[in-house]
Structures are given as structure tokens and as C-alpha cells.
Structure 1
Amino acid sequence: MAWFMGAVLLLALLTALLAPRLLRLQQERQERRADEHYRKQLQAATDHAITTAVRARLAEPVVDLHITIPMRVTVGDVIARALEDFALEVPWDHAAAMLRHRLEFRGHARWPDLITDVFDDEEDHTP
């Protein structure tokens, strides 16, 4: 019977010592999930803004083969799309970083007729 009481006391001691660490691990896991969810929503909003700009460019009628209609996509477009699609308020620097990344990933960053403010100085856009 004494060994049973010793085992119960040992388990109680382990529980008391491990509970704060387990709680901290759970909180860190929830923060990582929230960060990943935020990143995925921001990426989806950015892709939607780029796709909208590409479609708008392609919808323009061709009147002269020597004139190309520029593709316009701005950080404001991404911020508006995130707010509209996901009710997500995104700071300018996060939207700019994601837009830069997605333009490069999708191959649009090398387009000579791309008009964007993503490569402007961030200090001009801080509140």
C-alpha cells in the first residue's frame, strides 16, 4: 500500500511540475496555428488582387499592337482585398512583403509594364 501512495504522490508532483510547461506548449501551438492562418489568408487575398489585375489587363481591348496596357496592382489593393474577403486588417508592410513575394513567385515581377508601389520605401506608408 505504501508503494501505491508513493506512486500517487510522484504522479501529483510530476503533474504540478509539468502543467505550466504543457500549458505553454499548447499556447505556442495555438499561436503558430493563428500565424499560419493569417499568412494563408493574406496570401489568398494577395493572389486574388494579382489575378484581378491580370484579368483587368487582359480584358482591355487591343487597339494598337505596339501599345501594351500596364498591369496595375498595389499594396492598397491587397489590403482592401484582405479586408473585403476575410475581414482582416493588414498592416502596409505585411501586405507589401506578401505582394512582393507573390509577384516574384508568379513571375509578374519581371513584367516590364507592371505598375505597383510594392517596391516604394516603407517609411512613406507608415501611419
Structure 2
Amino acid sequence: MNSFTIIMWTALGVIGLVLFMKYRVSTIESNLLDKSEARKVSIDFIKEFVGVDVEEWDVYSVYWYDHETVNKLHHLGLLNKNRRILHEMGLVESWRVRFVHQNQSFVIGVNAKREVTFCLRRCKANFITS
């Protein structure tokens, strides 16, 4: 390779980097709640609509990101068009909060707008067998 080829490839690399920095896809800032605020919203919701006080129960919070939905929309070319709607509805990022106490648990989803996207109650029955 001569020096002209090296200079040409270097120039193409720099031009590509400059074009990428100038025209890269903008990202949406996350407006997701804090973990403690999501827990408070969950406790209030369960207390109001289910009638169970879960404030003293064991609490586990997980940041939830739906890769499957994002991948499907990306392959269809609809991700950029629907990204804001997905964030607002909590389908892309949200909190999953689980309350556990004595063979009972609640799982609740809280999106960025302080809305509960789902609530699931699970009870395990204890059977005594002889």
C-alpha cells in the first residue's frame, strides 16, 4: 500500500465519523420515576383498590425494559414513530414492583406517568398431606 491509499482511508474514516456525529439518531430522555416513588405509587394503589396494606411487606423493585417490543417495532420500521407513545404507556421502560409476605405476593407495573399498567395478585395455598 502506498501513502495515498492510507491517507484516503483515513480521510474516509474521519468523514464517516463526522457525518455520524452530525446525523445520529436522537434519543429520548428517560422520564421514569425514582424507585422509591414507584414503590409509593404501588403501595397506594394496592391499598386503595385491593384493600391490602402492603407497606410492611418485603419489596423488590426491578427496572423493566421490553426488548421484544423494541425489536419487533424496529424490524417493522415503526420504532422512531412510536417511541414517545411507548415510553408514556410504560411498554418500553417501567418499574416492576413485587411485594411478598407469607405465601402471598403482588406484582405491579408503574410507568413514567405514575400510572399502574398492571396488577397481579398471587396466593399459594398450603395443603397439609399425610
Normalising by the smaller structure, the TM-score range is 0.3 to 0.5
Relative to total residues, which structure has the larger helix share, 1 or 2? 1
Q: Output the TM-score relative to the length of structure 2.
A: 0.32
Question: Hey, which of these two has a bigger chunk of strand by percent?
Answer: 2
Q: Compare CA radii of gyration and give the structure with the larger one.
A: 1
Query: What TM-score, normalized by structure 1, do the two folds share?
Result: 0.33
